[in-house]
């Protein structure tokens, strides 16, 4: 299959690489030449703009950081909407359902079908092809791109309604964020009381409190003070804020998730939006006067 791929960041680079290695003809574009060069060295075909991508392939995939950037790449000047060959726009980003529906309507005016297919599973999952791919859109068009999406990860068809995949992604990500924040508060409390954080994690992971935060983030990233999970606090705050907006529009009370958003905002304010998600523990540590770290043997 001929595929255009725009956005070769932490997640996108791995997805594009997997598509190239699976034998697809992949046209690639990113604003960073180094990112393009890395995939071109593996067999990707470099082009100079989103429009050129859309001139080259019927299926265009994007993995981009924010809803506004997705909108610009899809429908702006020299964007995908101006391409001569494109028939399907597959958005692997997290934009929320409102933006997905907006892009769907704008592209439909040019007979381009938008498929929202956000992913979840982190950089490691993108590298290994184990991310969850949550696709929604017209069934026939989703089926047409399903073989390529199955190269990227585990495929789920969420529904034909535009934006359904985005809502599913936000419901997942807010749980991930909440687990990370709650684990941060729990671990700092235990350490402040004199508990060994490694033993705490062993007990939690054998008990009912376990999550990806206790099973992977804290033992591998927080305790050794690496803070290199590969997903920023700013991006997670964006996802949680999108979830809050959708939930409130539906009339759902979300006090717990509002508290999660508040700690993410505090982290971004004090440490910067580009800091790793796992640094949400640091503002709590700072106020408690302890660090959650591996004890010297």
Q: Tokens 């979830």 belong to which residue?
A: 243
The pLDDT of residue 77 is above 80: yes
> What pLDDT sits at residue 296?
67
Tally the domains of the chain.
Answer: 2
From 141, 160, 179, give the residue that closes a domain.
160
Distance CA 181, CA 190 (A): 14
Candidate list 51, 169, 237, 238, residue with the active-site label: 169
> What pLDDT sits at residue 44?
97
CB proximity list for 80: less than 8 A, separation 6 or greater = 4, 6, 50, 51, 53, 54, 60, 62, 73, 74, 86, 89, 107, 112
Same domain, 59 and 137: yes
Determine what percent of the chain is predicted with pLDDT higher than 70: 99
The pLDDT of residue 252 is above 90: yes
Check which CATH number belongs to the domain holding 59 and give it. 3.40.50.720
> What pLDDT sits at residue 295?
80
The pLDDT of residue 76 is above 80: yes
Same domain, 250 and 187: yes
Mean of per-residue pLDDT scores for the chain: 96
The pLDDT of residue 264 is above 60: yes
Average pLDDT, integer, range 221-247: 96
Check which CATH number belongs to the domain holding 241 and give it. 1.10.1040.10
Where would I find the beta strands (DSSP E) of 38-110? Answer: 45-46, 59-62, 88-91
pLDDT in tens, 99-122: 999 999 999 999 999 999 999 998
The token pair at 213 is 């935060």
Q: What DSSP designation does 296 have?
A: P
Same domain, 248 and 219: yes
Q: Which domain holds residue 10?
A: 2-160
Residue 226 lies in a domain: yes
pLDDT in tens, 89-99: 999 999 999 99
Buried b (16+ CB within 10 A) or exposed e, 152-182: bbebebbbeebbbbbbbbbebbbebbbbbbb
Same domain, 283 and 173: yes
The pLDDT of residue 297 is above 60: no
Average pLDDT, integer, range 11-35: 96
pLDDT in tens, 194-211: 999 999 999 999 999 999
CB hemisphere CA count around 88 (13 angstroms): 26
User: Would you call 169 a catalytic residue per the annotation?
Assistant: yes
Q: Tokens 């067999």 belong to which residue?
A: 43
The token pair at 106 is 């704008």
Helix axes 233-249, 164-192, angle to 10 degrees: 120
Distance CA 126, CA 147 (A): 16
Average pLDDT, integer, range 218-228: 97
């Amino acid at each position: 299959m001929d595929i255009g791929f725009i956005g070769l960041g932490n997640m996108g680079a791995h997805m594009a690489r997997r598509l190239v290695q699976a034998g697809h003809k992949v046209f690639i574009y990113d604003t960073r030449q180094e990112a393009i060069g890395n995939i071109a060295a593996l067999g990707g075909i470099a082009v100079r703009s989103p429009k050129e991508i859309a001139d080259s392939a019927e299926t265009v995939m994007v993995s981009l950081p924010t809803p506004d950037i997705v909108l610009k790449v899809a429908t702006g000047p020299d964007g995908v909407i101006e391409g001569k060959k494109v028939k399907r726009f597959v958005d692997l980003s997290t934009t929320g359902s409102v933006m997905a529906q907006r892009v769907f309507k704008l592209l439909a005016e040019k007979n381009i079908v938008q498929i929202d297919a956000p992913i979840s599973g982190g950089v490691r999952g993108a590298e290994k092809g184990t991310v969850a791919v949550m696709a929604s859109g017209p069934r026939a068009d989703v089926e047409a791109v399903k073989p390529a999406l199955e190269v990227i990860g585990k495929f789920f068809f969420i529904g034909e309604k535009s934006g359904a995949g985005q809502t599913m992604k936000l419901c997942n990500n807010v749980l991930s964020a909440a687990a990370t924040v709650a684990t941060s508060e729990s671990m700092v409390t235990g350490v402040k009381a004199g508990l060994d954080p490694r033993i705490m994690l062993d007990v939690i992971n054998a008990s009912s409190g376990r999550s990806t935060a206790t099973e992977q983030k804290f033992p591998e990233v927080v305790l050794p003070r690496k803070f290199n999970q590969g997903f920023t606090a700013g991006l997670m705050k964006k996802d949680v804020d999108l979830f809050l907006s959708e939930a409130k529009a539906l009339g759902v009370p979300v006090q717990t998730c509002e508290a999660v958003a508040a700690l993410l905002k505090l982290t971004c304010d004090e440490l910067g939006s580009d800091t790793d998600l796992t640094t949400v523990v640091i503002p709590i540590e700072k106020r408690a006067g302890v660090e959650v770290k591996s004890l010297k043997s």
